[in-house]
Amino acid sequence: MSSNNIDWREIEEKWIKRWDEQKLFQADPEPSRKKYFVTVAYPYPNSPQHIGHGRTYTLADAHARYMRMKGYNVLFPMGFHYTGTPILGMSRRVAAGDKDLLDTFHNIYKLTDDVIATFVEPVKIASYFHNEIKQGMKEMGYSMDWRREFTTIDRIYSKFISWQFRTLQKKGLIVQGSHPVGWCPNDQNPVSQHDTMGDVEPDFTEYVLVKFVAQNDGLVVPAATLRPETLFGVTNMWVDPEVEYVEARVDGERWIVSKEAARKLEFLNHAIEIIKTIKGSEMVGWQLTNPLNGAKVPMYPASFVEADSGTGIVMSVPAHAPYDYQALADLKNDAAMRQKYDIATVAEPVKIIESEGYSGIPAAEAIANVPANSSDRLEKATSDLYSHEFYKGRMMQNTGKYAGKPVSAAKEELKAEIASSGLTSVMYELTNKPVICRCGTECVVKLLNDQWFLNYADKEWKALAHECIQKMDIVPADIRQEFDYVVDWLRERACARKSGLGTKLPWDPEWIIESLSDSVIYMAYYTIAKYVNDKTIPDTETISDSFFDYVLFGQGDAKAVAKESGVPAIEKIRAEFQYFYPVDSRHSGRDLVPNHLSFFIFNHVAIFDRSNWPRQIVVNGSVLMEGKKMSKSLGNIIPLRAAIREHGADTIRLAMLVSAEILQDADFSFDTARGIKSKLAGVFEMAEKVKNAKQAPAEQVEDRWLASRLVRTALQTAESMDRLRVREAIHHILYTLEQDLQWYDRRARAKGRENSPAVVSALREYVKAQVQMLAPFAPFTAEEVWERLGSKETITAAGWPSTDESKLDILAEESEFLAQSLIADIANIVKVTKIAPKKIVVYTGAGWKNNAYKTVLENIAAGRTNFGDMMKQLIANPETSRIKSDPNLVKKMQDDILSTPLEARSRRTALTDFDEASAIKDAAGLIAKEFDGAEVLVYSEDDHSKYDPKGKAKFARSFKPAVYME
């Protein structure tokens, strides 16, 4: 059946409606059933979702559907995140007629002018895209309980967030003070990932500003450094002759910095008064004083100095900084430059740190250690040397009282000493600039005064977060260290701002709680939202902290709280929370590990008892489009709903999930999508052929083999899904099973029984099992095929196919495995010898060899691989003592076993008696057919009447027949 003959849209609409009518995904507490609570990041409705967004949600849905099929009572809800400034910024850009934004609306999202005109109201933007995203989720087949839907500006949700913040405040985890934050100068607000173009989290570094002094008139010439311990090795300063610098009064001192630095210093609360400008070329040749040791250092010209990096002036430590070493070498070799600026002699590097592996000038040796053709040679040398010296370096005698101290210790001691002496200041610099606010303004680092912060620097809070990380399941496991790393470096984080949508800070209503602070425990609100939406909880002022204290903590008297809040059903709501909490699985993208997912952990451990800490976090990579990052400039952003209309929901779901394992970036390819669509059409075609088949018992070995393979594949796929190795699971279903089907078809046709009742019945069971396994990933196809096969219940209710290991038929599986291996061996012989065989003679090993093989197999399975020990054991046994005449046979058996799949080894260990000759004779018809009707003869090596003109039989080994052809 061609995919063009299937009305995919009609099937999708049918099942969306059917699921909704059956309320199939509405989960309510059922104490007799095990629950499973799956959540995924609620979307920010400022645009339609595109294919890139779909991966995280599809993974979560496949997980939820799989757990339902295993019998769990699964809750998979969804809300919408309106909080923050992005929607506000977008509304302003619409009002200003921003061409880039309007082009996106017209050309990518296909919006009409009438719709866009309403976007001058921020809530209209959120409402429009909310509905667009929700419809797309339904069209993708996401199995969500929509009774629990909410937005983060709903009144009861705001009360919930107010309760959350008052709870944190009571625990002393919200503080007010001065701390650096990413900042939008236009919006006058702190910014985080949700507020920036491309969802970039502002990342900044603290630099030490060292106050060098110009000898001529006491001007301060500050330089930013991450390595204050290297001050002893400063030989010169670098300035860009072409840059225009400013002399400015900074907190009463006269400083020389770049214009860009002066602006950055203003945001760090320095009082800045520009006095005059000065060209960098005028500063070349100045003699400066090192504030640490009084050494005189000259100012040299350098074009690599960046005006917007640090202060625009760089201190040079050529012995320990590869960039400085190279620049100094270049200056020595540039006679014209030296003559232009009257530089008679060039400073020499001063070594101040010794470490194992570096005997000369460390920077020079570090550069030499990196291949000369490396594009980032100096960057690599810098990274290697800095790390090596920090962990293994010691200060030398020319560093005074710091001599002999580890660099790591000297750095902190020296930093504290010179700071207390007033010789330095502090500067914060964005490390991932430019970071652009959604309003279009480039962000800076600002030192905020009287700002409210979540104190993620609190050591006791960090310890609880680490404990939670160690106890929970993190998928994949190797991402766990990233969480620990984030918890270690997280510091105070601004949790409120002065504008945007959201909840007012309860005790200081001038502030609005920001979007990465009101989205960390909302999973608990899903257990409440259902009762808000059905009016059990009134949208009134009667809902106070006591309501949430009782529902979420069990604190207070139920009757008193019910009366106070006007919610008689409060005990039922409390029971719902207790039934569904904690979160069993939280799905999100890797980009949220440094912020949302870590905040999710922090806030849960602060607010809830250990019994309600999250049990699992699942982290996935992003999505590429045909190998390229999605971007508007490449024109490869495809809205999800448009992709569904073009290719079908199941095709999109599978194409997103099959291309990579969970943490890898998935490469969405339309060629892959077309191939998958063809495979799904093949499932329909097969179902059409066998839908009227009557159940019939297995008649031959291949029938038993297919039934066994279905059970084994169901086991393997379940094992993959239990570890959320989704790509592997889909491979089992779409590719491994298809190979099994092709083999079964060849076997049945070779015997002329392809239309027999037993075969047609077996194929019907195959299709049923395949679509049951396919259901979490391609639910529309699975449901439709399941119904066409005559089922009256949904495929979800039918559950996962049988994984009863007692139904495995290892004898049948070994028989078919032997036949497959033998055909492959014969094909290789034909390929090498170029023989077109008329007769194929197969010899199975002698009985005593089977006993020897069993002994070798058991030893290897037990981890005993010593050849000498194995030989002694075989020779000591009368049944296998003949091995001493051919010790090389044992080595070959070992090689055979070690090259055999573990599944086959395990099967052979369990087989008590296996007749290889009978299995091969059963497949003789297929062997003959595969090799142009050649005559096939099968003998045992022990058979005295065998046809063996070339003496090939003696080479036969267990499960490795010898072959003669003529």
CATH top class, domain 818-965: alpha beta
Model confidence at 356: pLDDT above 80 = yes
The pLDDT score that the predictor gives to residue 631 is 61
- What is the per-residue pLDDT across 158-208, written as a single tens digit (0 to 9) for each? 999 999 999 999 999 999 988 888 899 988 888 887 788 877 888 889 999
d(CA 655, CA 404) in angstroms, rounded, equals 59
Q: What is the mean pLDDT of the chain?
A: 93
CATH number of 205-430: 3.90.740.10
pLDDT of amino acid 394? 95
Reported as a single tens digit per residue, the pLDDT across 575-603 is 999 999 999 999 999 989 999 999 999 99
Check if the beta carbon of residue 714 is closer than 8 Å to that of residue 775: no
Contacts of 409 (CB under 8 A, 6+ apart): none
Q: How far is CA 781 from the centre of its chain?
A: 28
Structure tokens at 133: 């995203």
Task: Give tens-digit pLDDT for 884-932.
Answer: 888 899 999 999 999 999 989 999 998 988 999 999 999 999 999 999 9
pLDDT tens sequence across 34-61: 999 999 999 999 888 888 889 999 999 9
- In this prediction, residue 67 carries a pLDDT of 98
Tokens 């009368």 map to which residue? Answer: 878
pLDDT confidence of residue 955? 94
Other CB atoms within a 10 A radius of the CB of residue 87 amount to 26
Q: Which of 769, 774, 777, 770 is nearest to 802 (CA)?
A: 769
Burial class (CB in 10 A: 0-12, 13-18, 19+), 768: buried
Q: For the chain, how far is it from start to end, CA to CA, in angstroms?
A: 43
Is the distance from CB of 918 to CB of 700 less than 8 angstroms? Answer: no
Share of the chain above pLDDT 90, in %: 80
- For 859-882, the pLDDT digits (tens) are 999 999 898 888 999 999 998 999
Q: For residue 632, what pLDDT band results from cuts at 50, 70 and 90?
A: low
Confidence of residue 374 (pLDDT cuts 50, 70, 90): confident
What is the pLDDT averaged over residues 479-489? 94
Please give the full DSSP string across 567-593, using - where no structure is assigned: -TTHHHHHHHHHHH-S-SEEEEEGGGI
Give the residue ranges of the annotated binding site: 632
Do 456 and 602 touch, CB atoms closer than 8 A? yes
Q: What is the pLDDT of residue 190?
A: 84
Question: How many CA atoms, within 13 angstroms, populate the side-chain half-sphere of residue 58?
Answer: 32
Task: For residue 37, give both structure tokens.
Answer: 């609570």
pLDDT at 539: 84
Detail the residues annotated as belonging to a binding site for ATP: 632
Domain definitions of the chain by residue range: 205-430, 818-965
Nearest residue to 651 via CA among 16, 110, 67, 51 = 51
* DSSP character string of 232-281: GG--EEEE-TTSEEEEEEETTEEEEEEHHHHHHHHHTT--EEEEEEEEHH
Q: How far apart are CA 663 and CA 620, in angstroms?
A: 4
What is the arithmetic mean of pLDDT over 203-232?
Answer: 91
pLDDT at 199: 78
pTM of the model: 0.84
Q: How many CB atoms lie within 10 A of CB 504?
A: 16
Helix axes 649-658, 640-647, angle to 10 degrees: 110
Q: What is the pLDDT of residues 300-353, one digit of tens each?
A: 999 999 999 999 999 999 999 999 999 999 999 999 999 999 998 899 999 999
Strands 35-40 and 73-75: parallel
Residues 685-716 pLDDT 10s: 999 999 999 999 999 999 999 999 999 999 99
User: At a CB cut-off of 8 Å and minimum separation 6, what does 769 contact?
Assistant: 710, 713, 714, 801, 802
pLDDT band at residue 216 using 50, 70 and 90 as cut-offs = low
Does the pLDDT value for residue 567 go beyond 80?
yes
Contact by Cβ (8 Å): 565, 547 = yes
Predicted local confidence at residue 211, as pLDDT: 95
